[in-house]
Amino acid sequence: GENVEQHPSTLSVQEGDSAVIKCTYSDSASNYFPWYKQELGKGPQLIIDIRSNVGEKKDQRIAVTLNKTAKHFSLHITETQPEDSAVYFCAAIGNQGGKLIFGQGTELSVKP
């Protein structure tokens, strides 16, 4: 089945700097790669996603890139703000349809 590895597990940046979180996946048939943000005491919430037919997607300060050949995808947050502090999860849907497999999570801390 699908396996998703995420790095780093913790990331600390200064306000205004960029943050990059990387994930690799194992199932070459995976075709959907969402990123979720989890704030303390809440459930994960989708912030951006990318499908296998595109290599990059951007939404304001957030962008995701996908390299299908290497089976890795990354989240880029520019001009970070303290409210970006949270745990971020990457995920992939394997060839079993709706089964969403998550990475281990990255705790991002943005220091004012």
Partner 1 sequence: DAGVIQSPRHEVTEMGQEVTLRCKPISGHDYLFWYRQTMMRGLELLIYFNNNVPIDDSGMPEDRFSAKMPNASFSTLKIQPSEPRDSAVYFCASSLGGSNTEAFFGQGTRLTVV
- Return the number of the residue (42 or 112) whose C-beta is nearest partner 1: 42
Q: How far apart are CA 80 and CA 88, in angstroms?
A: 14
Is residue 59 involved in binding partner 1 (CB under 8 A)? no
Residues facing 14 on adjacent strands: 111
Q: How far apart are CA 54 and CA 73, in angstroms?
A: 11
- Return the number of the residue (99 or 111) whose C-beta is nearest partner 1: 99
How far apart, in Å, are the Cα atoms of 8 and each of 20, 28, 98, 106?
9, 22, 26, 6
Among 45, 67, 81, 95, indicate the residue that binds partner 1 (CB under 8 A). Answer: 45
Among 44, 50, 80, 85, indicate the residue that binds partner 1 (CB under 8 A). Answer: 44
Give the residues lining the site for partner 1 (CB under 8 A). Answer: 32, 34, 36, 41-46, 49, 89, 93, 96-105
